[in-house]
């Protein structure tokens, strides 16, 4: 087994890759299982595997890509990369990392072939069945173990066809691995906790190629760090075991929309509702503003304020909660919004609530809002005014902000119970802008300038102290405390124990 020697300090990943010879690459290929494949830049299948989801980082080209099929393949790849002095970076799903941290000029470990899903029902779990209006939920009905290549979309059929559910995000193509390692918000996190809160154990390949099982009873410090400490910090996680819920019945669903004229009353009402239902784990809300288009008249016409969510309870209760929002807007808007409130199956809700993160190229900045830092009418007005000044792009995803409600089960855990520290918040706020691959360079420049100004117009020189680690912002200065708060020092200790030579490293990596 290769020891824990560090890669040559003086060599950049690109320089190191140039020193790796054909014999080295053949040795790597020979070490892999028959179901795994090594791709080099001249291979026809290399370009789509090298391309990250956020095309801003499409210029980062791996020296090689291993499509891993087993944990042993990951071990072999990590040991080889260390021996030749290359970094090894895992990528689950399509590489959604907002800041491009799932890209590398070294060895990219593509986990997409590790798609296994194994369900283990828990005997006697029916005693924990509870009824919430029109739905029955068997809490902690069993466990489901998934490979590192499983995406949110891969788990949705379990809910649609078998009534089994693990809290995941709304974007179908996002890998569960990246989601859980950074926390994992979604439309059922208030009810069942974050994705990381449902984690029972995880298999991790360490920097020296060893494999460990991290759980509450084994490598508990690593298990703690894997629940919110973000990916590519402590090792390569190859599988995850979660507790799942069993559903029978329907949930409440709503999807509301207004013109931007109503932005101040809508956002004020939505924030009051979020505060009033902070401890009501049954109710979830996402509210935001947005627009898209190229020309000024298109941007103005498309600007809107919107809200979407679900509820584990009766429609009467849901209507009562939403009443302040349903009373806002034109007669046409009120009628349409009232009509959107309806009962659906949990499987239908997962489809209705799903949406992709921005495609092509995009930038994001986040903030964690507590009851003391909710948006004022002045901030909301400034955001709406700036939205209408968006420079436009050819990307249909456009620009704006979204606020994802927290509370419920999330906030029941102490801040140091897991590495995810944001346990006293009302919302996670995300400001985004996007542009198309075919847009000229000046469009990107204008979008990035607008994005900085948009965030500044809302928060000024004193933005909220905390940000969401799964929405990484490469321009964030005090990212250590913003992402991890008081948990950061403990994360560094875990890092030094399991990856003492900082083999797994990136600009905002633990210990950097």
Q: What is the pLDDT of residues 131-183, one digit of tens each?
A: 999 999 999 999 999 999 999 999 989 988 899 999 998 899 999 999 999 99
d(CA 227, CA 447): 33
What is the per-residue pLDDT for 16? 72
Angle in degrees, CA 171, 174, 176, rounded to 5: 115
272: pLDDT strictly greater than 80: yes
Please, are residues 294 and 388 in contact by the beta-carbon 8 Å criterion? no
Residues 6+ away with beta carbon under 8 Å from 502? 6, 495, 509, 511, 512
Does residue 8 surpass a pLDDT of 50? no
Confidence of residue 7 (pLDDT cuts 50, 70, 90): very low
Of residues 99 and 6, the one with the higher pLDDT is 99
Summarize the confidence of residues 362-369 as an average pLDDT: 98
Mean of all residue pLDDT scores within the chain: 95
Are 317 and 341 a contacting pair, CB within 8 Å? no
Whether the pLDDT of residue 10 is over 60: the answer is no
* Range with lowest mean pLDDT among 5-9, 39-43, 345-349: 5-9
* pLDDT of 169: 87
**What pLDDT was estimated at residue 2?**
32
pLDDT at residue 357 greater than cutoff 80: no
pLDDT value at position 127? 64
Cα 22 from Cα 28, distance rounded (Å): 10
Give me 226's structure tokens.
């894997």
410-437 confidence digits (pLDDT tens): 999 999 999 999 999 999 999 999 999 9
pLDDT higher than 70, residue 125: no
Which residues 6+ apart lie within 8 Å of 80 measured at CB? 24, 27, 28, 31, 107
339 exposed, middle or buried (CB, 10 Å; 0-12, 13-18, 19+)?
exposed
Quick one: pLDDT at residue 356?
A: 83
Element spanning 304, H or E: strand 304-311
Residue 4 has a pLDDT of: 38
Rounded distance between C-alpha atoms, residue 153 and residue 218, angstroms: 30
Average pLDDT over residues 7-19: 61
**What is the SS3 assignment for 278?**
coil
pLDDT of residue 358: 80
List of domains in the chain: 13-113 (3.30.43.10), 117-248+488-493 (3.30.465.10), 250-484 (3.40.462.20)
Residue 467: pLDDT over 70: yes
Which of 229-238, 315-324, 351-360 has the weakest average pLDDT? 351-360
Q: Tokens representing 321?
A: 């909660």
Centre a 10 Å sphere on the Cβ of residue 463 and count the other Cβ atoms it contains.
18
- Counting DSSP H helices and E strands in the chain, the numbers are 17, 18
Q: What percent of the chain has pLDDT over 70?
A: 96
C-alpha torsion sign, points 140, 141, 143, 146: negative
Asked whether residue 458 carries a pLDDT value surpassing 70, the answer given is: yes
């Amino acid at each position: 087994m290769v020891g824990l020697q560090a890669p040559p300090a003086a060599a950049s990943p690109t320089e190191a890759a140039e020193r790796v010879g054909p014999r080295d690459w053949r040795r790597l290929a020979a070490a892999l299982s028959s179901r795994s494949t090594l791709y080099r830049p001249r291979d026809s299948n290399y370009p789509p595997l090298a391309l990250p989801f956020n095309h801003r980082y499409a210029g980062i080209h791996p020296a090689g890509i291993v499509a891993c099929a087993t944990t042993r393949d990951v071990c072999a790849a990590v040991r080889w990369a260390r021996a030749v002095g290359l970094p090894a970076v895992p990528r689950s799903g399509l590489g959604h990392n907002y800041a491009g941290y799932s890209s590398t000029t070294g060895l990219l470990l593509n986990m997409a072939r590790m798609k296994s899903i194994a369900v283990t029902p828990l005997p006697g779990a029916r005693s924990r069945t509870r009824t919430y209006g029109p739905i029955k939920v068997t809490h902690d009905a069993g466990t489901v173990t998934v490979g590192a290549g499983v995406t949110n979309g891969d788990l949705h059929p379990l809910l649609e066809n078998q009534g089994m559910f693990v809290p995941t995000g709304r974007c179908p193509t996002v890998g569960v691995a990246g989601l859980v390692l950074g926390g994992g918000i979604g439309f059922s996190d208030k009810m069942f906790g974050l994705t990381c809160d449902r984690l029972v154990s995880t298999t991790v390949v360490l920097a020296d190629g060893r494999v460990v099982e991290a759980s509450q009873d084994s490598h508990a410090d690593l298990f703690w760090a894997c629940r919110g400490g973000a990916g590519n910090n402590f090792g390569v996680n190859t599988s995850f075991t979660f507790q799942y819920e069993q559903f029978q019945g329907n949930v409440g669903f709503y999807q509301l929309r207004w013109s931007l004229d109503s932005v101040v009353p809508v956002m004020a009402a939505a924030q009051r509702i979020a505060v009033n239902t902070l401890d009501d784990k049954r109710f979830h809300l996402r509210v935001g503003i947005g627009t898209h288009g190229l020309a000024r008249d298109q941007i103005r016409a498309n600007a809107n304020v919107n809200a979407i969510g679900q509820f584990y309870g009766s429609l009467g209760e849901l209507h009562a909660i939403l009443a302040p929002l349903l009373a806002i807007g034109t007669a046409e808007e009120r009628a349409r919004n009232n009509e959107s409130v309806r009962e659906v199956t949990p499987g239908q809700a997962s489809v209705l609530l799903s949406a992709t993160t921005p495609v092509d190229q995009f930038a994001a900045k986040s903030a964690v809002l507590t009851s003391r830092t909710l948006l004022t009418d002045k901030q909301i007005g400034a955001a709406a005014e700036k939205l209408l000044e968006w420079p436009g792009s050819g990307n249909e995803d456009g620009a704006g902000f979204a606020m994802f409600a927290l509370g419920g089960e999330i906030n029941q855990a102490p801040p140091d119970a897991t590495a995810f520290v944001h346990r006293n918040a009302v919302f996670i706020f995300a400001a985004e802008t996007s542009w198309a691959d075919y847009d000229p360079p000046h469009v990107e420049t204008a979008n990035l300038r607008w994005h900085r100004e948009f965030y500044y117009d809302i928060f000024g020189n004193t933005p909220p102290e905390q940000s969401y680690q799964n929405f990484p912002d490469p321009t964030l200065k005090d990212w250590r405390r913003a992402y991890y708060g008081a948990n950061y020092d403990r994360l560094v200790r875990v890092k030094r124990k399991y990856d003492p030579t900082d083999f797994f490293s990136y600009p905002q990596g633990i210990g950097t």
